[in-house]
Amino acid sequence: MSGFQAPRGMRDLFGADAAAVTAVERAAYAAAEAAGYQRIISPIAEESALFERGIGGATDVVAKELYRLAPHAEDSTPLALRPEATAGILRAYIQHGMRSAPQPVRLVTVAPFFRHDRPQKGRYRQFTQFNVEAIGDAGPGIDIEVIELGASFLKQLGLTDVEVHFNSVGCSGCRPAYAAALRAHFAPIEGELGEVDRTRLRDNPLRLLDSKDAAAVRRAESAPALPGHLCDACAAHADVVRAGLDVAGVKVIDAPRLVRGLDYYSRTAWEYLLPGVEGQQGALGGGGRYDGLAALIGGTATPAIGFAIGVDRVVHALHDRKIETGAVAQPLTVICGIGEGSIGERIRLASLLRATGSAARADVTPRKIGKQLEGASRDGAVAVIIVEPDGRYSLRAMIDGKQEEPTDEASVLRAVAALVKRT
RNA sequence: GUGGCCAUCGUUCAAUGGUUAGGACCGCGGUUUGUGGAGCCGCAGAUGAGGGUUCAAUUCCCUCUGGCCACCCCA
């Protein structure tokens, strides 16, 4: 037995698992591209500094979960595996001058990301995300579009009970005042808070609303609500988004305590959740507006919004609910033969059939005809072509075992087509 | 990163401080020699790795690796 195994938190997907991931990935691209989003394929590594500045050096994602690459001697720029999509995509937007394209620029990618976290079901060190980003539009309309896109994608997959939790986290103008209010609210119980929460009180009081600590949770109940502290512009923006989503048919649950994990979000923030699912797996995805990010990473200020949906979690959810994702297999023809001398001919025929657009495979294993038929049967073949020792063909319909003997190649192809059509 | 539970053929389950660690499924082959699905027969295949305790360990202990759960965080 080999001593090697896949690295912790990274998986080999094959068979039904690979098919499910592929199906979700296809559905994601189909949904986004139908809505006018263009694919972007960006590097899986970026300069570490991009993440440090963009995502925030104090966030867990950067501070302890970043995969930093050991640099080659001749390279001076430290690189890291991407822990999320947005920073890299926005970097691409800036680098390639996409602001001179019609705005907003709509982009989509389904790709792997990396975080060095303790793995669990639905949480892996290499995970796949469906990312949608709309860059260059400050208005509330694009918020509605993007939120609706993710919600209807999940519904179309069969996750009809997905909930959209919605909040506004304010902007650089109004958030400081709210943070101060929160700080004042929690300050009296500082002594009862855990170490983590005390740090939060100091650095990022918004995250206190997310705490699991009993004292903090109790205090959070009576905490001042974020909506009441939004500036007029932020409040108006949120109202338009909420109203628009309602008209668009997306039911939204107001979540005044919803805050996102990364620093760059402003105003609109939301999550896609499955009710009643244990632990993290119910958190299918989330998104937000990140109007300040472009300036943070050295571009001109550019408003933008996007979401990330965890493909692995979607796959788990579909599996738990026994929702089928597999693509229907094309009717298969297997080309067998008697005598190994015909193997080249079998492959030639298989290739010919594929060129006509039907699925075909030659049996190339040295084994007798009975075993070849057994294999074809198990693969679910509808037709088997047998190359006889004298070079003639037999065509066997696997459903009833009836054989015919087409005289030439053209009639073989015709007969196969007829069989395939019948299924 | 912290804490807990776990680890036997590819899969799923047995068993034991002491002969060749057993079954089922899957795979491969055979069933009188050129025709699939059933049945029957056979073959292959495992104690995750490394230390220790012991006359003897798959079984007890430790470390590592990996999985799962909770926390942290997040997709």
| Residue pLDDT, tens place only, A387-398 | 998 889 999 999
Residues A124 and A236 grouped into a single domain = yes
Residues A340 and A287 grouped into a single domain = no
A412 lies in a domain?
yes
Chain B bases closer than 7 A to any CB of the protein: 1-3, 10, 27-30, 33-37, 46-49, 65-75
Q: Percent of chain A beyond pLDDT 70? A: 97
Residue A423: predicted pLDDT: 74
Torsion angle in degrees (nearest 10) through CA of A53, A58, A64, A68: 20
Residue A133: give the domain boundaries.
Answer: 16-174+230-320
| Proximity of residue A334 CB to strand B below 7 A | no
Residues A58 and A110 grouped into a single domain = yes
| Proximity of residue A96 CB to strand B below 7 A | no
The model's confidence at residue A156, banded by pLDDT at 50, 70 and 90, is very high
The model's confidence at residue A224, banded by pLDDT at 50, 70 and 90, is confident
A356 lies in a domain?
yes
State, as a whole number of angstroms, the distance between the CA of A4 and the C1' of B58: 21
User: Is residue A98 a contact partner of residue A135, using CB atoms and an 8 Å limit?
Assistant: yes
The model's confidence at residue A328, banded by pLDDT at 50, 70 and 90, is confident
Domain boundary pick from A289, A320, A351:
A320
Helix locations, A304-404, DSSP H: 311-320, 343-355, 369-378
Nucleotide at minimal C1' distance from the A121 CA: B68
State the Cα–Cα distance between residues A261 and A271, nearest whole angstrom.
11
Residue A294: predicted pLDDT: 94
Residues A338 and A410 grouped into a single domain = yes
Q: How many CA atoms lie within 13 A of A188 on its CB side?
A: 8
Between residue 189 and residue 218 of chain A, the positions with Cβ below 7 Å from nucleic chain B are 196, 200, 207, 210-213
Residues A287 and A413 grouped into a single domain = no
What's A383's domain CATH number?
3.40.50.800
User: What is the number of structural domains in chain A?
Assistant: 2
**Which ipTM value was assigned to this complex?**
0.88
A237 lies in a domain?
yes
A283 lies in a domain?
yes
Residues A52 and A137 grouped into a single domain = yes
| Proximity of residue A9 CB to strand B below 7 A | yes
A57 lies in a domain?
yes
The average confidence (pLDDT) of chain A is 90
Residues A343 and A413 grouped into a single domain = yes
Residues A55 and A170 grouped into a single domain = yes
User: Is residue A306 a contact partner of residue A134, using CB atoms and an 8 Å limit?
Assistant: yes
Residues A413 and A305 grouped into a single domain = no
